[in-house]
Structure 1
Amino acid sequence: MGTILKVSHLTKIFGKKQKAALQMVKEAKSKTEILEKTGCTVGVYDANFEVQEGEIFVIMGLSGSGKSTLIRLINRLIEPSSGAIEINGQNVSEMTANELREVRRHSVNMVFQNFGLFPHKTILENT
């Protein structure tokens, strides 16, 4: 079985002064301090992981921790500030709009707990 998803150093910073905010993150400044000084919000910082074929991968965390942002970055519903995403060996950031549509249709699904799910169906049937 091979790697179907590889995320490397994925970062998303919302706002106009992203370079300054990124430098502050690297200096271990708090999200509050970064927001106050730059007006930027850190959505995801330096995410790294791989998902193997056949593996069930779950993203869990507290409200506001960046789970939904991470998923939207993977399927490029929002653009990353930096980092790389590969789905089935293809670099997502280099895909055309048509290629992205196909990946979204056939390779990536999102299921949000307690939202729009059919209780009598499995996780896969709900995707």
Structure 2
Amino acid sequence: MKSTQEQDDQIANMVFSKIYPLYLTKVEKKARTSNELNQVISWLTGYSEAVLQKHINGSATFEAFFADATINPNAKLITGKICGYKVEEIDNPITQQVRYLDKLVDELAKGHELKKILRSA
């Protein structure tokens, strides 16, 4: 399944602080915590808790959010389908990074252990 430029642009222009509460609700419904969610996001992005909090309270788009991030080198180990797309086959870097995040949030909500979510080579 190929994403279109329009879909990629739409994802890039979503505001992180508007999506974060949706992630939080998803994981809290499954008895996970905001600390665990933030740990997963920090693992992927390299953000400290303080920087992550600025993004949670800010207005950065996903494009800006990931532009400032240092993506974990083990992010390439994130595989599988999310929203009908295999994350490892997504060409657009921003879309792939957002889908990586979606996949990690899904795994957290499904009750996977943090050590498995935070992949190590």
| Rg larger for | 1
> TM-score if structure 2 supplies the norm length?
0.29
TM-score, length-scaled by structure 1: 0.28
The structure carrying a bigger helix percent of its residues is 2
Name the one with the larger strand percent: 1
